[in-house]
Amino acid sequence: MRLYDDPGRPEDPVKDLADTIEWSTGESAQLFSGFRGTGKSTELRRLEQRLNAREDTVAFLCDMQQHMNLNTSVEISDFLISMAGAFGEEVEKRLGVDHELLHPC
Q: What distance, in Å, lies between the first and last C-alpha atoms of the chain?
A: 50
Q: What is the value of pTM for the model shown? A: 0.69
Ramachandran region, residue 39 (left: φ > 0; alpha: ψ -120 to 50; beta: rest): left
Average pLDDT over residues 12-19: 89
Contact 78, 64 (CB under 8 A): no
DSSP at 1: -
DSSP at 64: G
What's the pLDDT score for residue 95? 83
What's the pLDDT score for residue 3? 52
The candidate with the shortest Cα–Cα distance to 19, out of 50, 42, 45, is 50
Residue type (1 letter), 47: L
Structural domain boundaries in the chain: 1-59, 60-105
